[in-house]
Structure 1
Amino acid sequence: MSNNIAGVLFPTDNLSLQQVVSFAKQIEEMDYQSLWIPEFFGRDQVALSALLLGETSKIKVATGISNIYTKDAMAMAQASHTLNEIFPSRFNLGLGVSHSIGAKMRGHEWENPIRKMKKYLLDLFLARDNLPNPKDKSPVYVAAHGEEMIKMSGKLADGINTYLMPTEHTSYAREMIGESKTLTVVLPCCLCSNSDQARSTARRSLSIYFPLEAYRKAWIKWGFRNDMRNGGSDRLIDSLVAWGDETSIARRMKEYIDSGADQIILLPYNADSNEQFPIELLGAFGSRLEK
Structure 2
Amino acid sequence: MNLGTFGIWSLAFTHGDPGEAADAAAEAEELGYETLWLGGDPGGNPQGDLATAARLLDATRRVTVATACVSIWDRPADRLADAYHALPAGDRKRLMVGLGVSHGEIIDAYRRPYTAMASYLDALDSAAPPLRASARLVGAHGPRMTRLAADRTLGVHPYLVDTGHVNRTRELLGQGPLLALGQPVIPHADPATARARARGTLAPYLPLANYRSAWLRSGFTEGDMAGGGSDRLVDALFLWGRPEDIAAGLAERRKAGADHIAVQIATNTRGTFARSGWRELAAILLA
Asked if TM exceeds 0.5, the reply is yes
**Counterpart Cα distance in 2 of 1:88 and 1:74:** 16
Name the residue aligned to 1:131. 129
Task: Output the amino acid matched with 1:223.
Answer: G
Q: Does the 8 Å CA contact 1:77/1:125 hold for their aligned counterparts?
A: no
Q: Give the gaps of 5 or more residues in structure 1.
A: none
Shift of 1:118: 0.8
Alpha-carbon distance in structure 2 between the residues aligned to 1:84 and 1:137: 19
Report the residue type matching 2:74 in the other structure: T
Counterpart residue number, 1:79: 83
Greater CA drift, 161-170 or 275-284: 275-284
Q: Give the deviation of 1:125 after TM superposition.
A: 1.9
Please, what is the CA RMSD of the aligned residues? 2.3
Contact 2:4–2:34 (CA<8 Å) still a contact in 1?
Answer: no
Report the counterpart of residue 204 of structure 1 in structure 2.
200
Query: Does the 8 Å contact 1:9/1:267 carry over to 2?
Result: yes
Amino acid at match of 2:188: C
For residue 234 of structure 1, the aligned residue among 231, 234, 243 is 231
The one of 267, 271, 274 equivalent to 1:270 is 267
Deviations 1:34-85 (A, max 9, x none): 1111234347711111112112222221111111111111111122223352
1:282 and 2:278 equivalent?
A: yes
Q: Which amino acid aligns with 1:78?
A: D
SS of the residue 1:63 aligns to: strand
Q: Residues 84 and 123 of structure 1: is their aligned pair in 2 closer, same or farther, counting only changes over 3 Å? A: farther
Identity %: 31
Letter in 1 for 2:50: V
- Cα pair 1:9 1:36 within 8 Å, conserved: yes
CA distance in 1, matches of 2:6, 2:137: 14
The equivalent residue for 1:256 is 253
Q: Is the 2:133–2:152 Cα contact (8 Å) retained in structure 1?
A: no
Q: Matches of residues 26-37 of structure 1 in structure 2 within 5 Å? A: 26-37=27-38
1:177 maps to what in 2? Answer: 173
Matched, 1:214 2:218: no
Counterpart in the other structure of 1:192: 188
Closer, same or farther: CA 196–4 of 1 in aligned 2, 3 Å: farther
Structure 2: segments with no counterpart, 5+ residues: none
Contact 1:8 1:36 in 2 (8 A): yes
Question: 2 CA distance for matches of 1:69 and 1:211?
Answer: 20
Matched residue, 2:56? 52
Aligned to 2:116: 116
Partner Cα distance (1:131, 1:125) in 2: 8
- Contact kept? 2:133, 2:153, Cα under 8 Å: no
TM-score with structure 1 setting the length: 0.88
Deviation of the 1:138 alpha carbon: 5.7
Q: How does 1:85-164 map to 2 (within 5 A)?
A: 85-104=89-108, 109-127=109-127, 130-131=128-129, 139-164=135-160
Work out the CA distance in 1 between the residues paired with 2:49 and 2:106. Answer: 16
Q: Does 1:7 align with 2:7?
A: yes
Q: Deviation string for 1:150-197 (max 9, x for gaps)? A: 111111111101111111111111111111111111100110001110
Residue 217 to residue 88, structure 1, CA distance change in 2 (3 Å)? closer
| Distance across 2 between alignment mates of 1:4 and 1:235 | 30
- Report the Cα distance in structure 2 between the residues aligned to 1:137 and 1:219, rounded to whole angstroms: 29
Q: How many residues align?
A: 279
State the distance in 2 between where 1:11 and 1:260 align. 25
| Cα distance in 2 between the residues matched to 1:18 and 1:68 | 28
Deviations 1:255-280 (A, max 9, x none): 11111111111011139x8x943223
